Amino acid sequence: MFSTRSVWPSLWAKVSGMLRRASIRILLSVPALLLAVPTWGKAQEQGVRRCVGDTTRVLPAPTVRQTVDTIAPGVTYTCLLRPEGPWLLHVATIDLRQKGYAIDGVRAAERMVGRERVSAMVQRLTARGERPLVAINADFFDLGTGEVENNHVIRGEWVKGAVITDSPHDAFDNAHTQFAVDRRGGVHIGRFELHGAVYAGRGTQPLVGINYRPPHTEGLVLYTPWYGDRTLGETPSDTLTGARATAVRPRDPDAAPTPRPAPSVAQLRADSARAASLAATRRAVEVALTFVGARGDTLRYRVATPRPRVGGASRLAPRGAVLSATGDSAIAFVRALARRGGTVRVLAGLGVPTFSAQTSVGGWPRVVQDGANVGVLADSLEGTFPRFSSARHPRSAIALSRDSTQLLLVVVDGRRPWSVGMSLVELGDALIALGAGQAMNLDGGGSSALWVKGEIVNFPSDPTGERAVGNALVIRQLKP
């Protein structure tokens, strides 16, 4: 059911010779480790085997430790202890040639805002009769609201769509690296932007966001029930709007300690962006829509009211949507639409060339491209910064094997005596040694969590254990 394609031009010429970390190269002595593991081990009825226990305080003798469990046909879990770091890697490998599996995004609390542990998201899927096998934390998110930074698509439905990644942390505004599965099963890793438009009669207007109004950007935004009960607007009773616009984000547990509690630069930037988006809604003109149906990648709506609302905070019906316009061109389009009524078509896709996404989750940044380590370029290409890129942290990652037949979900433990975490360059080297041809970093630190067949197999670094996060990527077994 899967096919693959690369969406970035090769950077091999820029990064050849960068694989200089001798400590990681020992991993290369395990040839085609993850390509061979589907034939190793036995499925475990109760849990999976680990290389070490959480009570380990002294690193064992300097030898590689490795355990492999078969979770299902073509799906394995490998625990790999490398004493030269020391590093403890947890790797779930999925054979993309194997039929009967789906790759899904999952949103915390099944709405735009909120946080939830990966294990709790999986439990919800199980409770409704689905069969998840593996899950990993995914995108970076706002600690206060749980809203993720990048495009997010779940089973063909847009949870969030953005032209530029909604991040207060990067050094410059751009689209971060994301992972997506198209409607034909093709797997993609790239820096994807939302490409969307609304068609009504002979008129067309581009979308600047789905369930997200970018600050300082005028245009048309589509709000759906994923967003909540109302669109963005200054309504005190609207708890969703209030949470986005006024909540003080809690301190990042992964941030370096400071002598006094003060808002970080990232938090100040986030506050400023939210204030700008909220201020824009005072002039927004909005029209309510009723969902009619979908055909392929086209959503069809019917205008629900002839009178547009001014000022935002429009109600969102369970099977409805709202088009919200700022700027002269978009406002004229919405006012004409309200007068004329009739049917509205919405098309939205990712990337260039544009494809229709079935699943999409974000991360930051790419660390492997066409078999080369590009982690060292992350600061200049995607706006990461040394405290994030060069320091050793717990890491989560998604990778594709060189022949694009294997999907790897990887967590590297950190902040423990027997696993110190990795820099982005070290992560890229490790993933290449495990067979990766393409790979991207996900949210890490205390957010890193890999769930395999009923339990979190890595050792989260937060003192309280597994952290509540914004979303996850899940491999589930389809019903026969």
Average the pLDDT over 366-385 and give the result.
Answer: 95
Do residues 468 and 253 lie in contact, with contact meaning Cβ atoms separated by under 8 Å?
Answer: no
Does 315 reside within a domain? yes
Statement: residue 301 has pLDDT above 60: yes
Alpha helices in 247-396 (DSSP H): 265-280, 328-340, 378-382, 386-389
| Average pLDDT for the chain | 85
Rounded-to-integer distance, Cα 105 and Cα 153, Å: 7
State whether 208 and 276 are in the same domain: yes
Does 8 reside within a domain? yes
Does 167 reside within a domain? no
Give the CA distances from residue 395 to residues 88, 159, 241, in Å, rounded to whole numbers and listed in that order: 11, 25, 32
Rounded-to-integer distance, Cα 278 and Cα 324, Å: 13
Per-residue pLDDT tens digits for 165-222: 998 887 778 899 999 999 999 999 999 999 999 999 889 999 999 999 998 899 999 9
Per-residue pLDDT tens digits for 431-480: 999 999 999 999 999 999 999 999 999 999 999 999 999 999 999 999 88
Statement: residue 20 has pLDDT above 50: no
Which stretch of DSSP H or E encloses residue 143?
A: none
Residue type, 60: P
State whether 206 and 312 are in the same domain: yes
State whether 188 and 98 are in the same domain: yes
Tell me which of 350, 379, 406 is where a domain ends: 350
pTM: 0.86
Do residues 174 and 214 lie in contact, with contact meaning Cβ atoms separated by under 8 Å?
Answer: no
Least confident of 147-156, 226-235, 321-330: 226-235
State whether 202 and 339 are in the same domain: yes
State whether 418 and 288 are in the same domain: no
Does 257 reside within a domain? no
State whether 337 and 222 are in the same domain: yes
Statement: residue 242 has pLDDT above 60: no
State whether 147 and 45 are in the same domain: yes
Do residues 412 and 395 lie in contact, with contact meaning Cβ atoms separated by under 8 Å?
Answer: yes
Confidence (pLDDT) at 229: 93
Confidence (pLDDT) at 277: 83
- Concatenating the DSSP letter of every residue in 175-206 gives PPEEEEEETTSEEEEEE--EEEEEEETTEEEE
Average the pLDDT over 304-327 and give the result.
Answer: 94
Does 109 reside within a domain? yes
Rounded-to-integer distance, Cα 166 and Cα 173, Å: 9
Average the pLDDT over 285-309 and give the result.
Answer: 93
Statement: residue 12 has pLDDT above 70: no
State whether 86 and 10 are in the same domain: yes
Tell me which of 300, 329, 350 is where a domain ends: 350
Tokens of residue 100, six digits: 């009967």
For the packed helices 239-246 and 265-280, what is the interaxial angle rounded to 10 degrees?
Answer: 130
Per-residue pLDDT tens digits for 246-256: 455 566 777 76
Does 164 reside within a domain? no
- Concatenating the DSSP letter of every residue in 372-437 gives EE-GGGHHHHH---HHHHTS-B-EEEEEEETTS-EEEEEEE--SBTTB--B-HHHHHHHHHHTTEE
Does 256 reside within a domain? no
State whether 16 and 121 are in the same domain: yes
Does 258 reside within a domain? no
State whether 152 and 214 are in the same domain: no
Domain that holds residue 155: 3-159+175-192+355-477
User: What whole-number percentage of the chain has pLDDT above 70?
Assistant: 82
Rounded-to-integer distance, Cα 399 and Cα 421, Å: 18
Closest CA to 74 of 33, 39, 122: 39
Statement: residue 64 has pLDDT above 90: no
271 vs 194, higher pLDDT: 194
Statement: residue 270 has pLDDT above 80: no
Tell me which of 284, 317, 350 is where a domain ends: 350
281 vs 45, higher pLDDT: 281
Count of structural domains, the chain: 2
State whether 449 and 302 are in the same domain: no
State whether 444 and 472 are in the same domain: yes
Rounded-to-integer distance, Cα 467 and Cα 107, Å: 15
Average the pLDDT over 413-434 and give the result.
Answer: 96
Rounded-to-integer distance, Cα 399 and Cα 120, Å: 24
Average the pLDDT over 349-369 and give the result.
Answer: 96
Statement: residue 34 has pLDDT above 60: no
